[in-house]
Structure 1
Amino acid sequence: MGVQKSAYDAFVGRRIQQRRVELGLVQTDANNPHNRETLLDRIRKLFPDTTITDSTIQSVELGRGRLRLEDAAQICMALRMPLSDLLAESDKPFEASVLKPDSTNSRMLVALMLADHSQDVKELSAMGMAVNLSACVTRLERLLDVCPLHNGLLDMKDLDRARVHLNGLIPDNVQEHVPVSANQERVMVSREIIARFELLMKNMDEILCWFRQSEYSVMIQENMLTRIEHDCQTVERQMRGNVTVRTTIQNIQTTMASIRKGKSDGKSLD
């Protein structure tokens, strides 16, 4: 009886195969009459002690094998793609993903970044930064969807679900049983949402600046830059007049333009 495929394993296999073909790498030596470079060849250059085999790659590309986190990281480095792109659908980031933000495996990636068996800690660190950027964008998009603001204020109809999304946020004076009107609570919750917007935007700005100054900006794919661009426009609409957010958005836009120019000029990692 054959191994049962899952939709998730099939997605991972397709993503690996697409990127391998895009780079002109052969799957295995079994059908390689012109002796071209295989994916395993490239993995072994980076990780001489890898446990990945031809059989592993064949099985994963067919959607019949579940990758260990360490193997996934090694394959991503060989394919020069962020781990988040391999393990999460771009339009549904981190849903059913082993790298859901703050998950055990996400923390394992951080530990993996510090492992001294890695020959290229900088590249693995860049992958970790790409995962962090994807997590920031995902959280921001969720916040925009669940807690939309209008000129910096939450609608009364969205107050209950905003409170739930913000982990049960209850203003201090409500906790102390001091009477608070619904409108006062709306203002308090709106301030918390704005604070989270500002923090997420600041984190995104810092990560993008890191990539702009590094040789790994190629890891930030165009679909991610487009998402960030759209999210910035939405935040700006929802928070008109917020100088802090506006300044951060301008910084992000400048940084993204620089990243795009660098990739276009071929100054990033090939």
Structure 2
Amino acid sequence: MTSIVSDTAEAVDLCPEYNLYLKPIAKITVSVALPHLKTPGKSISNWEVMERLKSMVQPEQFSSLRISKSTMDFIRFEGEVENKSAVKRVLTKLDGKSIKLSGFTDILKIRAVENKADFPTRHDWDSFFRDAKDMNETVPGERPDTVHLEGLPCKWFSPKDGVPDRPSETVLRTVFQRFGKIRNVDIPMLDPYREEMTGKNFNTFSFGGHLNFEGYVQYQDHTGFVRAMDSLRGMKLMFKGDDGKAVACSIK
């Protein structure tokens, strides 16, 4: 899923040749503690709480704000702001503060924290390959050297003079070779026979055709892999058109 980017100041180059950049993810988690309701039939409106949170962070704005969990005791929101620099300002306006809703005597206390990146760390992949008894670190593919990417928009990786919305392994290689020499790349959806043999549909989202795809990038050495993983951690993929308009999407 892509979202419009109105401020690209924090974006860094990935592959300007294909208008691709990396933009820091700026997400926060907001938990609002709910009072024990003593009056039967009375309830707190999640929508009203959300609107109050939006007004509290002004002049900052959430680019997205959704409820991730709602119980009798609390409401948890996942929010995103435009830039990493806005995160601290939003947290200052929310964390430790409270909300007073009309018709209720109790106040609702707020806790807000910045989201940690849900992304493999060096410890994760080192321990995985170290503990795998059937792996040989001297053999390509049996050591940490391959980046598996999901949620890549097909049209961002299609050749400029090729079939629109059909990703290219050549483009994928060109984009990610900035981190190091690449041994091999693979886009499973380009091989329809593999889908038939495995029974797996390799596109991550389909509506009238492939919109997103998954790909594999295998680096020649460990250094390129580490550089790629460190650069992608905590980032969104951003496409900036020739008209200056930009959109971004999360990648896994």
**TM-score, normalised relative to structure 2:** 0.26
Tell me which protein shows more strand as a share of its residues.
Answer: 2
Instruction: Point out which structure has higher relative CO (alpha carbons under 8 A, 6+ apart).
Output: 2
Tell me which protein shows more helix as a share of its residues.
Answer: 1
**TM-score, normalised relative to structure 1:** 0.25
